């Protein structure tokens, strides 16, 4: 069994991680920490877990966490980097679901997250945990930086086009919509139902924190700098991301459906829909799956890719468990074989 610790188990990502790991046949949850809720039974805070876990939240004491094989950080940005060095030195693997290790440039980190990085020496070592792109490196890693939710949907949608050199890398656009759970489980006036309900808005148009993360990965894939416009939106639903991606073909003599089907034919968590399809966020609700449809309107040069995920699963906790499976040599689908919830 893999002994697992979870730091920060009281948020939406934390409870989703608990839900998935409690169904994992090779995992033993050893500790779930929360400074504010230490001593509270986990099932009392999250009644959906009653009968599945008897643990209480505990203080994030390093002496207890070093007894784990792997520690997940489902914490705000800037938390994992405080403890990662000590855990790694003790031989514990670290999977961070926040942004502490997603950017390799410490100056970029400071610019976008408005804080100093406490262990910049680890940035170059951290492996970006998008399995469909970095599976081999993930298997050998000590420190995994799980991608953000928007980046997961965008990168999976653009990856086949960039790898094959089919599009102009200077004209990439992502128009993405997210449910309110993407903002986390905290009191916030804009996330109140009376504020977000029956409304729809763009935000952070001049610069979202996921922009440098996506740009960096797109540049690595295409082996050149990219021109990338990213506009996120908030929609009045709880879960889900829908990314509508635009690119301009430089090679029009190509069967786009075949390109996507071949690229993802062996990927258990990427579903390429038939020609003419329009994926919906509800198709992937609660599961670790990305559904993609590729379109070429009027058979012109413009490619439109539709990519949907559950932001809390493939965009966070599910992808983290997928990384765990790779890291410990398990079948990638272990504990992740659920079916999306309808309606």
Contacts of 121 (CB under 8 A, 6+ apart): none
Give the C-alpha separation, 170 to 167, whole Å.
9
At 12, phi and psi to the nearest 5? -60, -40
Write the DSSP assignment of 118-131 as a string of letters.
S-GGGTTTPEE--H
Give the C-alpha separation, 128 to 137, whole Å.
9
Residue 284, CA distances (Å) to 18, 21, 294 in order: 19, 19, 17
Q: Residue 95's CB: how many other CB atoms inside 10 A?
A: 26
Residue 333, CA distances (Å) to 62, 170, 328 in order: 30, 36, 13
Residue of 68, 119, 149, 290 marked catalytic? 149
Helix (H, G, I), strand (E, B) or coil at 202: strand
- Is 149 designated active site? yes
241-248/172-178 β-pairing: antiparallel
Which residues are known catalytic residues?
149
């Amino acid at each position: 069994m893999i002994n697992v610790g979870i730091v920060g188990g009281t948020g939406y990502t934390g409870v989703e991680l608990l839900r998935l790991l409690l169904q994992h046949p090779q995992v033993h949850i050893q500790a779930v920490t929360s400074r504010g809720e230490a001593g509270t039974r986990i099932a009392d805070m999250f009644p959906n877990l009653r009968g599945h876990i008897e643990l209480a939240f505990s203080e994030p004491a390093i002496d207890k966490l070093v007894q784990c094989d792997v520690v997940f950080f489902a914490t705000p940005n800037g938390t994992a980097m405080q403890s990662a060095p000590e855990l790694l030195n003790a031989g514990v693997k670290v999977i961070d679901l926040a942004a502490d290790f997603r950017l390799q440039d410490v100056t970029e980190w400071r610019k976008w997250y408005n804080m100093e990085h406490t262990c910049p020496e680890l940035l170059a070592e951290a492996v970006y945990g998008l399995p469909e792109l970095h599976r081999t490196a993930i298997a050998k890693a000590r420190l995994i930086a799980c991608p953000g939710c928007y980046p997961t949907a965008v990168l999976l949608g653009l990856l086949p086009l960039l790898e094959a050199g089919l599009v102009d890398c200077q004209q990439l656009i992502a128009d993405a919509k997210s449910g309110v759970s993407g903002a986390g489980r905290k009191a916030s006036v804009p996330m109140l139902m009376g504020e977000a309900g029956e409304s729809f808005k763009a935000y952070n148009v001049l610069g979202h924190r996921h922009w440098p993360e996506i740009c960096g990965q797109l540049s690595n894939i295409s082996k050149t700098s990219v021109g990338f416009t990213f506009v996120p939106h908030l929609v009045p639903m709880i879960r889900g991301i829908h990314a509508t991606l635009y690119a301009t073909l430089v090679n029009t003599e190509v069967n786009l459906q075949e390109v996507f089907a071949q690229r993802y034919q062996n990927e258990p968590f990427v579903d390429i829909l038939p020609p003419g399809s329009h994926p919906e966020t509800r198709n992937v609700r609660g599961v670790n799956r990305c559904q993609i449809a590729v379109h070429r309107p009027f058979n012109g040069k413009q490619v439109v890719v539709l990519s949907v995920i559950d932001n809390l699963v493939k965009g966070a906790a599910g992808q983290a468990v997928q990384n765990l499976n790779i890291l410990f040599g398990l079948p990638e689908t272990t504990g992740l074989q659920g079916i999306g919830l309808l309606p």
